[in-house]
Amino acid sequence: MSDTTLALAPVAQNAHHGRWRTEAMRSHASPRLIFINKGQGRITVAGLTSGYGPNNLIFVPAHTMYGFEVGPTVFGQMVTIPPAMASEWPEDHMHLRLRDVVQQKELAVLFDNLERELKSTRPGHSRAAHYHAGLLSVFFERQIAVMETTDTRHTTAAARLVAAYTDLIERDFRRHYGVAKYAAALGVTPTHLTRCCNASCGKSALAILNDRILFEARMMLRQSRAPVRQIAADLGFTSAAYFTRSFQAQAGMTPSEFRRKGPMSSQITL
């Protein structure tokens, strides 16, 4: 399944896949809409960490770094929104908390209809699924219009700086730049950048950068048969040995061991 095809995937703890599937920083070529049905945890989008709970809707634009905790009590769904429909959604990430029972029921019906058509084999099911996704975007737009904005942290200078930092990482992480290079591009010192990152999401600037690189490395190891040395080169490492040492220091195993522990897959949507 393509990363840009309309799809619906469950959000739940999966010990076989490992926590890195959800918690590590990553991004996608198309937007994602996350609906948390039950449970609670924390989600980090564009370097800003927030708590989430039942009946929360979280929109993540394309090419925006994010990661979230999925505990044993958490269950939800994630919609992959095709690029052709991206213009129907906000340009920035949004987090809505639906407290009205009527809103919650309306949303449940929208998700049920979308899921039914995606699983259907009846004529026109694909077109019907896209129409239901369009109705979901209308629902989201209407909730934005009436929601009460209580979290203004994303407007602070620190949050804006960290968001800009994650944007640069997403653009350049394959070049293997250091934190100092990113800080210079943002016009701040590495110390100030790390201070803002810690305040915004509880991670240092280096941890955010390494997390993004490690996630990409894991995905490449699981989704392709490319040699380790080729993956190392694609991610900007000067040698396969250096990549192996860095990967093992963070993942607790070598790239080859990690690849052997899991099946090849091209259907990862989370």
Q: Quote the pTM value.
A: 0.88
Q: What's the topology of domain 154-261?
A: Arc Repressor Mutant, subunit A (1.10.10)
Give CA–CA dist 130/79, Å, rounded: 11
Tokens 């084999």 appear where?
Answer: 121
Which of 104-108, 151-155, 226-230, 244-248 is predicted least confidently? 151-155
Q: What is the pLDDT of residues 96-117, one digit of tens each?
A: 999 999 999 999 999 999 999 9
- Same topology between domain 7-146 and domain 154-261: no
CATH architecture of 7-146: Sandwich (2.60)
- Which pLDDT does position 262 carry in this prediction? 72
As a whole number, the mean pLDDT across the chain is 92
Question: Are the beta carbons of 183 and 205 closer than 8 angstroms?
Answer: yes
Task: Indicate the pLDDT class of residue 265, thresholds 50, 70 and 90.
Answer: very low
**Residue 25 in tokens:** 């920083």
Contacts of 32 (CB under 8 A, 6+ apart): 59, 60, 66, 78, 79, 80, 81
Residue among 161, 209, 202, 205 nearest 49 (CA): 202
The CA distances from residue 34 to 11, 113, 222, 224, in Å, are: 8, 16, 24, 27
Query: Strand 56-60 to strand 66-68: parallel, antiparallel, or no bridges (unpaired)?
Result: unpaired
pLDDT tops 90 at residue 208: yes
- The residues spanned by each domain of the chain are 7-146, 154-261
**Residue 180 in tokens:** 């100092």
Task: Indicate the pLDDT class of residue 242, thresholds 50, 70 and 90.
Answer: very high
- Which pLDDT does position 267 carry in this prediction? 44
